[in-house]
Structure 1
Amino acid sequence: MTAPPVRQDAATSFPQPQLRYPLRQIGERSFDFSRQVAVMAVVNRTPDSFYDRGATFALDHAVRASLSAVEVGADWVDIGGVPFAPGPELAVDEECARVLPVVQALRAASDCVISVDTFQPEVARRGIEAGATVINDTTGLFHPELADVVADSAATLVITHSLASPRTQYPHPQYGDVVAEISEFLLRRVELAVSRGVPEERIIIDPGHDLNKNTLHTLEITRRLGELTALGHPVLVAVSNKDFIGETLDAPRGERLEGSLAAMVACVLAGARIVRMHNVPESVAAVRMTEGILGLRQPSYLKHNMGEFNVQG
């Protein structure tokens, strides 16, 4: 696959992918992903999430974290009730009991984008009824019926590359060309979703950093992300605090912020337009600065060297 073309115009000479997306309406929010990056905050209502170890499992903690994320600039909150990691199956009613009250509380207070991280069609259906405007399926439509649920609504669907059955181990993953294989998988799944009635303009793709991949695979995905952003669908990346950062930097969990931000910015430079992050204030600042460097947004104000008596510095 050839690399995507780059743009060099009057706004910026920084090489970047040529991205042209129609305006997207997601719930009450509009996004021009040709010139805008959305920050997605992560709220896991699970006792065993890989990063926060249950810090937002209690309902009041989950609601507080969701509202706080929006207050500090998140465009989007992703709410999950089941970890991706291997483990026992969780009943649909229990998953709904974890997720729906958070969705309802956040929707009552905000018009932000709310996604439900689930692979279960019934959880997706109830989540949309509760106020979610995106279904974030990290299993790549393992249950194709989930696409039917999205098709029957106004919601957007995130399709993620992963190979294992939900909550199962996938030891020692092997790829010939990891990016080419991810591209083929995602295009097939997009075709499946469209065949079941999901409009292409309501589909987002995610290469699935670290999901059934080792660190070398994930670094290559990040390095070659432009090949995935060239597929024509907005790309979401979930790089925050993941093991590929820990292994690259020899950084334990809780000490991966700088690496997470570096990986996130690299992905944005390659064309990622939604970033799923735990550390929201830092991520928002890094994204807005990157948009400014790329000429996608104007500075909040201009003062330095703009007046006759400005102090040099």
Structure 2
Amino acid sequence: MHFSCGKFQLDLSTPRIMGIVNVTPDSFSDGGQFNTTDKAVAHAMQLVEQGADILDIGGESTRPGATPVPLEEELKRVIPVINALAKAGVPLSIDTYKPEVMRAAIDAGVDIVNDVCALQETGALEIVAASQVGVCLMHMQGRPQTMQADPQYQDVVAEVSGFLAARLKAAEQAGIARERIVLDPGFGFGKRTEHNLTLLNHLSSLQSLGLPLLIGLSRKSVLGQVVGLSIDERIHASIAASVVSVMKGANIVRVHDVKPTVDALKIVSAVMKN
């Protein structure tokens, strides 16, 4: 299995790590730490040195209750970072749901669009289809401002799988080849703790869609609810979540803590290949 994304063909026979670069003042974990171009670029290059296979650059927080960022402000945050990382040597991903940001980021040289809205905004499908970038289609119940108010499911695995299958069909009909698509069940996006744990335990059900899976559990509240620790104390829980995700079928894990995750997944890969 491989992932075709812009200038890159990622071999997914071993798990890949997507390093998080939040150019925001209000992201749930590291908001404000890297919210200038210089700080974000330095952080991104450090993640590459630590073993990140992909850099995911975001200019708007999608944490529960987050305030939407105006288009021009989001562009001001992310485009200079993308330009500065053009020769980083790894695929660059833009974490956005806004079609205008997608277009500008693609023009600036990103290789992946990572969209929490799964290309449902008007024009998003067409913009991605007209390019060669890869795309991550994610499930979210509701919107970031309200998604954790009262999420409800009859069967969370079936409903998430059904949504992703529908978005996959829409993407293919728009002209986006399957090898350019990865799927994300959207941990923490309109889901209670029990929903997240059920999804994690049944990732193999999502594998039936026949596409790579990207998982983002790093430092999220579901981990805090399990271990009873604050955001900056969840590194060990995050690593455990990445290990479980890969052993359950994930191909890419999106993380803040790249180096320890790299080491942990080397062990997982060695065991699974033996």
- Please indicate, yes or no, whether the TM-score normalized by the shorter chain is above 0.5: yes
AA aligned opposite 1:106: L
Aligned to 1:173: 151
AA aligned opposite 1:173: P
Aligned to 2:71: 92
**Which segments of 5 or more consecutive residues in structure 2 lack a partner in the other structure?**
none
Mapped partners of 1:71, 1:99: distance in 2: 21
Aligned to 1:234: 212
Equivalent residue runs for 1:260-271 within 5 Å:
260-271=238-249
Deviation at 1:230, TM superposition (A): 2.4
Match of 1:133 among 102, 111, 119: 111
Q: In proportion to residue count, which structure has more helix?
A: 2
Equivalent residue runs for 1:102-113 within 5 Å:
102-107=81-86, 109-113=87-91
Mapped partners of 1:169, 1:182: distance in 2: 15
Q: Say whether residues 1:73 and 2:67 are aligned partners.
A: no
252-261 or 137-146: bigger deviation: 137-146
Say what the alpha-carbon RMSD is for the aligned residues: 1.4
AA aligned opposite 2:267: M
157-166 or 203-212: bigger deviation: 157-166
Equivalent pair of 1:28/1:112 in contact (CA under 8 Å): no
Q: Say whether residues 1:186 and 2:164 are aligned partners.
A: yes
Aligned to 1:280: 258
Deviation at 1:168, TM superposition (A): 4.0
Matched residue count: 273
Match of 1:101 among 80, 87, 105: 80
TM-score (norm 1): 0.84
TM-score (norm 2): 0.96
CA gap of 1:271–1:169, structure 2 versus 1, over 3 A, is: closer
Mapped partners of 1:180, 1:110: distance in 2: 39
Mapped partners of 1:196, 1:144: distance in 2: 13
Q: Say whether residues 1:160 and 2:138 are aligned partners.
A: yes
Deviation at 1:213, TM superposition (A): 0.3
SS of the residue 1:204 aligns to: strand
Aligned to 1:44: 22
**Which segments of 5 or more consecutive residues in structure 1 lack a partner in the other structure?**
1-20, 297-313
Mapped partners of 2:28, 2:62: distance in 1: 9
Mapped partners of 1:144, 1:207: distance in 2: 22
Equivalent residue runs for 1:251-266 within 5 Å:
251-266=229-244
SS of the residue 1:231 aligns to: coil
Q: Say whether residues 1:292 and 2:270 are aligned partners.
A: yes
After the TM superposition, list the runs of 4 or more consecutive aligned residues in structure 1 that deviate by more than 6 angstroms. Answer: none
Q: Deviations over 1:2-33 (max 9, x none)?
A: xxxxxxxxxxxxxxxxxxx2x43323433222
SS of the residue 2:231 aligns to: coil
Mapped partners of 1:263, 1:230: distance in 2: 21
CA gap of 1:56–1:88, structure 2 versus 1, over 3 A, is: same
